[in-house]
């Protein structure tokens, strides 16, 4: 059956924008237990000759504090339970922050393949140097993308599909 690829990352890094850009229109929402922020959104995606199921684990996201961390833990759990490959999305504009390290640690423990993407690289020359700090997460090469401008998707998905 088709590989399942989950997008995980902090609020506002651009998970839903990336999801929508890749998914087009075939989107379905799966509601989890009411009050629990484990809703996720699925789409069947065709990329070149490949077909996979993409999940946006974000749902409705809290802004900060303890809620944020437990929400991120829930996201990571969904991804680790269901995905064959996890896209861990970060944000070059906000840079590398503590919560990124915390999520990276949760994901790493799953042993699932993780592909690190750095979003909002709308201008490669301007932002490429800023993507290098994301090597510090210990998740390998950061792939620069712009979900808004649909830049970098080919290289990112090539790497994802290596693990499928
Ligand atoms: P999510 O909370 O991770 O799902 O993030 P969203 O997809 O809702 O995006 C959060 C904000 O980042 C929105 O204002 C988006 O328009 C913006 N955003 C998403 N992708 C990009 C990008 O590639 N470049 C820039 N400059 N902004 C982006
Ligand atoms: Mg979202």
DSSP-derived pairing of the beta strands 40-47 and 27-30: antiparallel
Two tokens at 65?
Answer: 């504090």
- Answer with the residue of higher pLDDT: 36 or 125: 125
- Is 57 touching ligand 1 by the criterion CB < 6 Å? no
- Answer with the residue of higher pLDDT: 55 or 136: 136
Nearest ligand, CA 59: 2
- Is 20 touching ligand 1 by the criterion CB < 6 Å? no
Q: Can you tell me which atom of ligand 1 is nearest the CA of 93?
A: 26
pLDDT of residue 74: 87
- Is 59 touching ligand 1 by the criterion CB < 6 Å? no
Instruction: Give the whole-angstrom CA distance, residue 98 versus residue 2.
Output: 34
Phi, psi of 42 (to 5 degrees): -110, 150
Distance 2 CA to ligand 2 centre (A): 23
pLDDT of residue 35: 46
pLDDT of residue 48: 87
Q: Domains in the chain, start-ordered, CATH in brackets? A: 4-162 (3.40.50.300)
- Answer with the residue of higher pLDDT: 27 or 14: 14
Two tokens at 155?
Answer: 């290289």
Q: Can you tell me which atom of ligand 1 is nearest the CA of 147?
A: 23
For the ranges 42-46, 65-69, 114-118, the lowest mean pLDDT is seen at 65-69
Distance 59 CA to ligand 2 centre (A): 6
pLDDT-above-90 percentage for the chain: 60
Distance 1 CA to ligand 1 centre (A): 31
pLDDT of residue 8: 93
How far apart, in Å, are the Cα atoms of 151 and each of 87, 118, 143? Answer: 16, 11, 11
Predicted-complex ipTM score = 0.99
- Answer with the residue of higher pLDDT: 116 or 32: 116
Nearest ligand, CA 122: 1
């Amino acid at each position: 059956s088709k590989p399942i690829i989950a997008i995980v990352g902090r609020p506002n890094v651009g998970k839903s924008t990336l999801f929508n850009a890749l998914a087009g229109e075939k989107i379905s929402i799966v509601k989890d237990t009411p009050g629990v922020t484990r809703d996720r959104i699925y789409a069947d995606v065709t990329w070149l000759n490949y077909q996979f199921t993409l999940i946006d684990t974000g749902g409705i996201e809290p802004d900060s504090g303890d809620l944020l961390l437990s929400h991120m833990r829930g996201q990571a759990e969904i991804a680790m339970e269901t995905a064959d490959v996890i896209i861990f999305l970060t944000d070059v504009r906000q840079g590398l922050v503590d919560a990124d390290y915390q999520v990276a640690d949760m994901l790493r423990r799953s042993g699932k393949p993780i592909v690190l993407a750095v979003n909002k690289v709308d201008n490669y020359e301007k932002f490429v140097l800023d993507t290098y700090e994301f090597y510090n997460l210990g998740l390998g090469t950061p792939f620069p993308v712009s979900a808004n401008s649909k830049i970098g998707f080919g290289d990112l998905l090539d790497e994802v599909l290596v693990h499928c």
